[in-house]
């Protein structure tokens, strides 16, 4: 038996029903609580007004809705990006980000405390890996901001699993969380509004393809030759570029869905005409799109973001091979909330 009370966000509706009948409650109560969790985003059991007080007392004694306290919160200078640092039940810490765009409210969600991939330009990778998050800890990050947005008459429009951690390394918990967030009886976010990001775990990409999921896939490539990618992304030595591209083509063939490649543009490293040409050749003819992100600075990596002129030249290089690309709008850089900047105080 865990020393921590059960977080109800770890349960699907069937599990919640079983949990309640185990407490001696009628099964129909599960649906009432489910609505409170995923439609009302209630912060506690006290506000579940259609439940009898004895049941609320039982829930208080045996369960929780709390991911853990927020120990830091930062707002960017333009007020468009907000980052929170949660402390989980065991003391581990994770960061979650809300980004406001003209028509979108996008959440950047963490799937692990730390990350085992060790990408040298990423603050989370520089931290090392501590543990996987369970599905409830992933879901609860979304609910936290859904509650905050609802109070302002707004709602979550998009979720990107691009926070701390490698989602496909924590495959089961990540996909369980995605299934819960897309459940039409629950949070009911469209599958196509949730993007899964990976550095290229080949067996997991193939499994994802076989499951024919509707959630978009983004692959962090960052280099078009193994010599360059080995320097940036250690896992490339296990699954080199040829294997990743083959898995990506398999994904497109299986699902008929476009795949996105993420590319952090590092000045005079991977923004050269040679890299643009190599990438163009690699992706030519594939149903794909390249998302270019001028590098976000981190403490332990000296690389610099590419200049506007070099970004433009790189895009033109890709266009010669018929490969479409866009440059991502950078958000929250002043509060270290950008892509690759998330980290937490290290908890051993």
Catalytically active residues are 95, 339
Nearest-angstrom CA–CA distance, 203 and 171: 11
What the block records as the tokens of 41 is: 């985003």
**DSSP for 133-179, written as a single string:** PPHHHHHHHHHHHHHHHHTTT----EEEE-SSS-GGGGHHHHHHHHH
Could you tell me which of 191, 179, 199 has the C-alpha nearest to residue 136? 179
Phi/psi of residue 335, each to 5°? -115, 20
Nearest-angstrom CA–CA distance, 323 and 275: 13
The per-type count for the chain, helices as H runs and strands as E runs, is 11, 14
The residues, any chain, with a CB within 8 Å of residue 100's CB and separated by 6 or more, are 79, 80, 81
What are the C-alpha distances in Å from 313 to residues 261, 265, 320, 325? 18, 12, 11, 12
Contact 142, 133 (CB under 8 A): no
- Residue labelled with tokens 């950047």: 108
Nearest-angstrom CA–CA distance, 315 and 50: 57
Contact 230, 270 (CB under 8 A): no
Sign of the Cα torsion 59, 111, 96, 195 reads negative
What the block records as the tokens of 240 is: 């080199």
Nearest-angstrom CA–CA distance, 107 and 81: 10
**DSSP for 224-245, written as a single string:** SSHHHHHHH-GGGGTS-HHHHH
The residues, any chain, with a CB within 8 Å of residue 290's CB and separated by 6 or more, are 260, 261, 263, 279, 283, 318, 323, 324, 325, 326
């Amino acid at each position: 038996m865990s020393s921590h009370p059960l977080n109800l966000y770890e349960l699907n509706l069937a599990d919640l029903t079983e949990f309640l009948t185990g407490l001696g409650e009628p099964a129909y109560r599960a649906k009432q609580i489910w609505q409170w969790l995923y439609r009302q985003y209630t912060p506690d059991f006290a506000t579940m007004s259609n439940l009898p007080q004895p049941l609320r007392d039982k829930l208080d004694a045996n369960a929780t809705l709390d991911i853990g306290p927020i120990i830091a919160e930062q707002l960017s200078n333009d007020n468009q990006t907000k980052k929170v640092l949660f402390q989980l039940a065991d003391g581990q810490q994770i960061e979650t980000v809300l980004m406001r765009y003209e028509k979108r409210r996008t959440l950047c969600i963490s799937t692990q405390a730390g990350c085992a991939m060790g990408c040298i330009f990423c603050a989370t990778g520089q931290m090392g890996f501590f543990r996987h998050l369970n599905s409830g800890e992933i879901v609860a990050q979304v609910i936290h901001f859904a509650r905050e947005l609802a109070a302002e008459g707004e709602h979550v429009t998009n979720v990107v699993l691009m926070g701390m951690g490698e989602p496909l390394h924590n495959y089961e918990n990540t996909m369980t969380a995605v299934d819960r967030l897309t459940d039409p009886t629950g949070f009911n976010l469209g599958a196509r509004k949730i993007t899964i990001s990976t550095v290229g775990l080949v067996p997991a990409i193939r499994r994802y393809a076989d499951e024919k999921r509707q959630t978009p896939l983004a692959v962090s490539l960052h280099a078009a030759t193994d010599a360059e990618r080995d320097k940036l992304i250690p896992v490339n030595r296990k699954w080199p570029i040829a294997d990743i591209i083959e898995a990506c083509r398999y994904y497109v063939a299986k699902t008929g869905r476009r795949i996105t490649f993420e590319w952090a543009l590092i000045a005079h490293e991977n923004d050269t005409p040679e890299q643009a040409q190599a990438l163009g050749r690699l992706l030519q003819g594939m149903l794909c799109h390249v998302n270019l992100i001028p590098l976000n600075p981190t403490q332990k990596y000296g690389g610099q973001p590419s200049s506007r002129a070099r970004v433009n030249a790189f895009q033109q290089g890709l266009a010669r091979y018929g490969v479409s690309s866009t440059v991502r709008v950078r958000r929250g850089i002043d509060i270290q909330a950008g892509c690759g900047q998330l980290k937490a105080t290290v908890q051993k």
